[in-house]
Structures are given as structure tokens and as C-alpha cells.
Structure 1
Amino acid sequence: MEKTQEKGGIMSIIVQKFGGSSVADAECIKRVANRVVETKRKGHQVVTVVSAMGDSTDHLIDLAKQVSKNPSVREMDMLLSTGEQVSISLLAMAIHALGEPVVSLTGPQAGIKTDGVFSKARIMDITSSRLEKELDEGKIVIVAGFQGITIDNDITTLGRGGSDTTAVALAAALKADICEIYTDVDGVYTTDPRLVKNAKKLSTITYDEMLELASLGAQVLQPRSVEFGKIHKVKIHVRSSFNHEEGTIVQEVSDMENDIVVSGVAFDKKSVRFTVYDVPDRPGVAKDIFKTLADRSINVDMIVQISREGSLNDITFTLDRDQMEEALKVMKEVIVNIGAKDVTCDDDVAKVSIVGAGMITNFGVAADMFDALAEEKINIELISTSEIKISVLVRKDQCEKAVRKLIEKFDLAEESIQSIE
């Protein structure tokens, strides 16, 4: 990935990203324009990444389904990329009306190169020369998030939340001083504040903690954007587009500063549990299952194998509900190839997780978590752990009760727990 050269005396570079709710209508776009111009007039060079307006991406998906039951993934990317083009042009017009020089660029025009996986493309490189040229001419640069271009000049999209990744990747390529992610909440909380009103806002969080929370269902940042931030040491500031309050800084934190055992509770009601029954106990069978899923770009999360009599195993794993139908189709083929008996899926489950870098050096966190759930008579169906995360699978109707109890157990609320709406 190309990087801008250090230039003595140049203004600092700030990359700002505004999500769909921040540019949902004309008034919102004008408000964003004022904020971008305000940043420029403070003496910064500004690159702004925007998502499609409001629910426009969902409307485009619905439109595609009206004309085709199984639309081509390539054509879907071509269609969905237009949503961001509407946003960037309107925002550029609003900024121009405020008297500032500005230019809007699509992802390909901004030099964003991706692999060829349609609908879930990964950024492979950014050629930043066009961006640098426009910035050097004193312009505010507006870039369409969520999109890029392949080596074969096909338009690709980066998946849900891909504008976050666009912004952080651009910040890395330009060696920006900070990447500001503007959203409809004013930071990262110990759990979703739209569900638990008195969840604590965190002033800082490590990349690893944020990556775990993002991958476990917290919808503040796309996981890939956090990976980019960690690899390229991009300071990320998550804050509200509706006020000027300080939000949450995502960056590396020293061990001495890491005195919080559990930083947050994440939950995901879109988990689906698959179980493959009577899997032959021989080398390579697990590889056949999970490589086949990976080849279809299906991500698997929690995995448990249970040994049974007669050299047979049951293998259980979880994945996202959006991939359930495709995964079930794949697994019906796989069980024939490996000689397994059957496969079932259950979408009446939810994943609840606690995350905290302090868990590495503190004993008994898992016991505390399981004790809290037992007090509420919540049955644990699967368990998955890492150094800074413990996840459990529970019945979906017990998810909210589990979150409330864990917030209370680990003292992650501002005051007394309020009911989840």
C-alpha cells in the first residue's frame, strides 16, 4: 500500500467517515457539510468517506430481488455501489455551496484496489496519488465508502459496514493523524446503549478488544476496519455526528493502563448453530467440512466436537444467519462426501460474550460469568474462549436477560441496571 511522503510544515490530515444515518436526508447532508468545512477551516486537510443515504442500500437490494430471484453477485456490486455515489455528489455540492473547494471520488477513482470476491471484497492496495494531488490543491476530498475495483476493472463492494474499512485504509495510506468514525452513538459502550440505557461509555479501548467486540456483534465498527487500524497503527476516534462531544479512542494501550478486567458485553441474535451428526472419526474430515465452507466464503465461529461411541463424532459450529441457506446447501453436499449421517441448523440461539484485555492476567473471570448466568437459570449450550474473550451460546429469548446480568456482574453500568427496551 502506497504511503504519502512526510512533508515538512504541511497541515495535518484528518479522515472522517459518516454513516448512512448521518447522511440520511438533505438536512443531514448539510449538517455533515458544515462539520467537514469546520474541520478544514481549523487548518486541516480533510478526506471524508460517506456511506449510502439511510436505508438506500436495502432499497436497492429489494429492487434487485424484484427483477431476479438469484441476481449475479457481480451485478449486485455494480448496483449497490451507486448508493455511495449519490451521497458523495450531494455532499460535495453542499460543501461547494459553503464556499470550499471540493471534489468527490468513487472508490476506484480514489485508487482503492480490491481482490475479486464480490460482495465481500478485501482492500489489497491503495494508490493514493490522486488523493494527494487533490489535497495539495487545497480541496476537501469526498470518497465513496464500501467500494473498490479489481485488477480486471470490476466494481466490488466490501460488505456491510465497509465504509469503516475504506476510511481506516485511506487514513493508513495517507498517514493521517486520526480517523474519525461518526455514527449515531457517541462512542463505544460497555454494551449497546440503545438496549441498556445506562451502559458506560469507554474513553479508550484497545484494538484487540474492539476487534473482539466488533466481530461478536457490536455494530460500532466493521471488524476489518479495526484490523487495518491495528496493522497500520491508525488512531480511530468513534464519535457522534450529532454533537461535538469526545467519543472513544481505539488505539494500543500499555499493559500498565490495562487495569479493567472486562471492558464490554457483546451479543449477537443472528447466530445459527449447525450440528453434523455421526461424522467418521478419521484424519481430514474436519478439514473437508470447514475448507468447503471457507471456499464458499462462509465464516464459521464457535466450533465444538463431541466424541461418540463407534468412532463417530458430532461436530457443532455457528455462523451468521445471513449465510444460513447457503451453508445448509453446502453441508448437505458435504455430509454425503464424508459419510456423515445428517446435518441440522437452529436459528433460535444467541451468542453472548464478555471481552477484556485484563482477562489475561485475572483468574476466575469465566467462573464469574458462568455463576452469573446460573443465577438467572440460563443454560449454556456452547462455549468458546480466547485470551480476551469468553462467548456462550444461549436460547435467543434469554439473550437480553444474560446481557443485563453480565453488565451487573462486572460493574459495567453507570448506575443501577435499567430494563432493556
Structure 2
Amino acid sequence: MSIIVQKYGGSSLADIDKIMRVANRIIDAKKQGNKVIAIVSAMGKTTDNLVTLANQISKNPPKREMDRLLSTGEEISMSLLAMAIQSLGENAISLTGPQAGIMTDSIHNKAKIINIVSDRLLKELENYNIVIIAGFQGLNENNDIATLGRGGSDTSAVSIAAALNADLCEIFTDVDGVYACDPRIVPNIKKLTAISYDEMLELANLGAKVLHPRSVEVAKTHGVTIHVRSSFNHNIGTIVKEENKMEHNGLITGIAHDFNVAKVVVFGIPDIPGTAANVFRELAKSNINIQMIVQSSQINNKNDIAFTCSLSDARDAKNILENIAKELGAENILIEENLAKVSIVGAGMMTHSNIASQMFEALAKSDINIDMISTSEITISVIVDSSQCEKAVKALAEEFKLV
């Protein structure tokens, strides 16, 4: 029998009717001769509601207690779904992340999975149980619940699929698959039938919300095939797998955008070796993820260093750097918000030299000013004013014929 891991997001479990629909879908997969494990997110807006409650108690709630609080959302989903499956005459058991053997590091709110002890899962499957697991959580070295951060249920699902050498990992969501860009911005954008791990990872890291970036990393490392599809129909979605196993999608595969961007500028840093290392070493200690970095040309033996990160990380970064500003010799530290990042992604960039010029010309024709630029082998990203983000996405979708 094949092992199939399925993941259901919060919108797929938002109410009892949807939970029953998911239960029937899981049972159908079992009746097709599969051993089924389902990973679940919290119902609907449960996580947001729990965060709101915590913030009413404290503006800065302890991270350990937040993990304990937020993990309950997935536990509600797993129990209700297991009950639903049992009410339909099938055997099912619900397990928390720790009960399922998911072990994490000790960083609360952003934990990473370090191991999965699969004995319990294999035992339950051998007993012909459908296994329902609370996503987004695991057990750290202190025997405390640790959560994986937003979107962590994707990572839970792919990691379990890897640990069990599952035949397929299906990620069920409220859209039909992965689109070349956000269909809310470009309604007639095409859906991708297949995408490589590298391209999907870039899109996910750059703001596409369909898959969590860490889940794609795990899939690539362990060769897990992912099928992204809708839980509200039975349409074929998007297959995420190794590039050499599929046809190439073209020059540009997709466009990502992200409003959760801020720029931090450190002004007047002495132009001496080790200064940049000191800046980013301190930020790394607090697990602040840096995206773009630009250093200005030398003026009076001093430089300005600008970098982008998420809005929440930017505020933390500013506080950290202000505390060591005297040590750095920095003159000032500022945050610029109301920005957005727009990126094009495609393996075709590696063999076509005109992609960058096409991108910048399309933005120029739409009178969109570029603040910062970064590139990789298969990605070009620009920072623009947030008010021009959607306009930029539309211009690039038309330029690269993604509609």
C-alpha cells in the first residue's frame, strides 16, 4: 500500500461542514488502497484570534507561552477531524506534533524540525488507522511545545512525508494550485501544471503564499513530490518536483510580490574591515532574516549600509543596532516602510541575457521607480513603493506573457 501525506489548511477546515468534506476526502484516499496521514492547520482565523487574545494580556507575551497557546488551534482541528472520520465508520486517531515524534530545536515561535521519530506513526498505519496530526508544532529539547512559525503545517507535512518515504505529499488549500502570479491582481493569470523545487522555493521566499519556503527546502532535500491542489474540488493542481523530470515552463515561471518589507539604513559607518560583519552578526543572533543588502560608495571614509527584511524584524533590527550604534560608529539608524518587493522567477534566466532589460523597461514604461535591486541565477527582485506594487505585477505579467 502507498503512503500518502495530506495537509489541510485553515480555510479547508473553517467550519463543521468543511471538516466533514475533508473527512470524506481522506476516507476516499484510504479506500483507493492508501495509508493516509493528514496534517491539519487551525480552523479558519483561530490563530489570529489567539494572537489577539494574547496581545490583550501583554504587548510582548512570552514566546514559550505563545507557543503553548497557539498550538491549541491545530489540536482542536485534529480532534474534530478524527471524530468526523470515526463518525463515518473509519478508524482514525489524532496526535499532537510531539505524539507524532516531531522534534524541534529550542527557538520558540520559529522552531526548526531536527528529527522525526516515526515509530508511533508506522504502528498506527499498520493498525489501519488514518492518522491526523496537528501541524505547526513539535517538542523541543526542554520538553516544551515549540511552533514552526506561520505556514509551518506545510513543513510538518513534507517532513513527515520525507521521514516515512511517502509516495506523495498533497497540500490542500483554497486555490487550484500555483499560479504564475497572484490571481487577485491578474485574474486571467495561468496556472502552472508543474514547477521545479528551485523555482518554487524562490517564489515562496519572495512572497508567494501557496507553500511555506521551508517545506520546499525539505522536499528538495529528500526528493518529496508535492501536489498543490484545492480542497474544494478534484481538479489537478500543480506538481512540485525535480526540474529534470518535467518540461521547462519557459523564460519566466512566475512573479511574486511581498508587502511585508521594510528597509533599514545604517548611516555613517566607518569604512574599515569587519564593520559589516559586526552589523549582521548582531542581527543573526536574533534570527533576523536579511533579504537585500546595499552598501553605498565611500564618502569621507564612511559608508551607509541598507538592507531589507520583514516589517516586524525591521523594528527589532533597529533596536538591536541602536544599542550598538556607538560601538559601530554609526551616525543614525532609520526604518523606511510603505515598500513592497516584486520579483520575477524563472530558470530561463540562466540562458537568456535580455530578461533584466525587459523587466526594467516594462517597469519604466509604467512609470514605476526602483529603490533597490537584487539578483540570483533565476531571480530578479526590486523594491518599489507599496502603492505601485500591483501595477508592477500587472506590467510584468503582460511583458512576459504569463496571461
TM-score of the superposition, structure 1-length normalised? 0.94
8 Å contact kept, 1:164–1:222:
yes
Contact kept, 8 Å, 1:354 with 1:390, in 2: the verdict is yes
The one-letter code sitting in structure 2 at the alignment partner of 1:20 is G
Alignment correspondent of 2:213 = 223
Matched with 1:28 is: 18
- Quote the Cα distance in structure 2 between the aligned partners of 1:253 and 1:65: 44
| Equivalent residue number for residue 259 of structure 2 | 269
User: 2: distance between equivalents of 1:407 and 1:330?
Assistant: 39
**Segment of structure 1 superposing worse, 143-152 or 332-341:** 332-341
| Cα displacement (A) at 1:69 | 2.2
C-alpha change, 1:112 and 1:256, in structure 2 (3 Å) is closer
Aligned residue for 2:198, secondary structure, equals: helix
Q: Pick from 168, 173, 177 the counterpart of residue 167 of structure 2.
A: 177
Identity %: 57
1:221-243 CA-partner distances (Å, limit 9, x unpaired): 00000000000000000000000
Q: Displacement of 1:284 after TM fit? A: 1.0
Tell me the amino acid that sits aligned with residue 375 of structure 1.
K
Alignment of 1:99-118 (within 5 A): 99-118=89-108
Corresponding residue number in structure 1 for 2:362: 372
Aligned-partner SS, 2:305 = strand
SS at match of 2:309: strand
After TM superposition, the structure 1 = structure 2 runs for residues 1-400 of structure 1, keeping only pairs within 5 Å, are: 11-254=1-244, 257-258=247-248, 260-400=250-390
Which whole-Å CA distance do the structure 2 matches of 1:257 and 1:70 have between them? 49
Cα distance in 2 between the residues matched to 1:206 and 1:273: 30
Q: In structure 2, how many angstroms separate the alpha carbons of the residues matched to 1:227 and 1:155?
A: 23
Tell me the SS of whatever aligns to 2:358: helix
What amino acid is the match of 1:133?
Answer: K
C-alpha distance 259-98 of structure 1, shift in aligned 2 (>3 A): closer
Contact 1:236 1:250 in 2 (8 A): yes
Residues 371 and 255 (structure 1 numbering): CA distance in 2 closer, same or farther, change over 3 Å? farther
- Asked whether the equivalents of residues 195 and 249 of structure 2 are also in contact (C-alpha less than 8 Å), the reply is no
The SS at the match of 1:254 is helix
Instruction: Quote the offset at 1:257 in angstroms.
Output: 2.8
Over residues 212-270 of structure 1, what are the superposed CA-to-partner deviations in whole Å (9 max), with x where a residue is unaligned?
Answer: 00000000000000000000000000000000000000001229832511000100011
How many positions carry a matched residue from both structures? 403
Displacement of 1:103 in angstroms is 0.3
Cα contact 2:263–2:314 (8 A) shared by 1: no
Amino acid at match of 1:19: G
1:264-293 alpha-carbon deviations (Å, 9 max, x no partner)? 010001100111111111111111111111
Query: What is the letter of the counterpart of residue 245 of structure 1?
Result: N
Letter in 2 for 1:126: I
Q: Tell me the distance in 2 between the aligned counterparts of 1:199 and 1:291.
A: 41
Alignment partners' CA distance in 2, 1:131 and 1:348 = 46
Cα distance between partner residues in 1 of 2:106 and 2:86: 35
Uncovered stretches (5+) of structure 2, i.e. residues with no partner: none
Counterpart of 1:22 in structure 2: which amino acid? S
Counterpart CA distance in 2 for 1:322 and 1:276 is 17
**Contact 1:77–1:155 under 8 Å retained in 2:** yes
Which runs of structure 1 show a deviation greater than 3 angstroms over 4 or more consecutive aligned residues?
Answer: none
Aligned-partner residue type, residue 382 of structure 2: V
Instruction: Write the distance in 2 (CA, Å) between the matches of 1:264 and 1:350.
Output: 17
Moved more, 255-264 or 287-296: 255-264
In the aligned structure 2, how far is the partner of 1:279 from the partner of 1:255?
Answer: 49
Tell me the distance in 2 between the aligned counterparts of 1:13 and 1:273.
45
Letter in 2 for 1:374: A
Give the drift of 1:331: 1.8
Contact 2:185–2:394 (CA under 8 A) maintained in structure 1: no
> 2-side partners of 1:78 and 1:410: how far apart?
46
- Asked if the contact 1:120/1:157 (under 8 Å) is kept, the reply is yes
Kept after mapping to 2: 8 A contact 1:270/1:347 = no
CA RMSD of aligned residues (A): 1.0
CA distance in 1 between partners of 2:277 and 2:174 (Å): 41
Aligned-pair CA distance for 1:308: 2.8
C-alpha distance in 1 between matches for 2:320 and 2:103 = 30
For normalisation by structure 2, the TM-score amounts to: 0.99
* Range with bigger deviation, 193-202 or 94-103: 193-202
Contact 1:22 1:241 in 2 (8 A): yes
Contact 2:12–2:22 (CA under 8 A) maintained in structure 1: yes
Q: 1:317 to 1:46 in 2, by over 3 A?
A: same
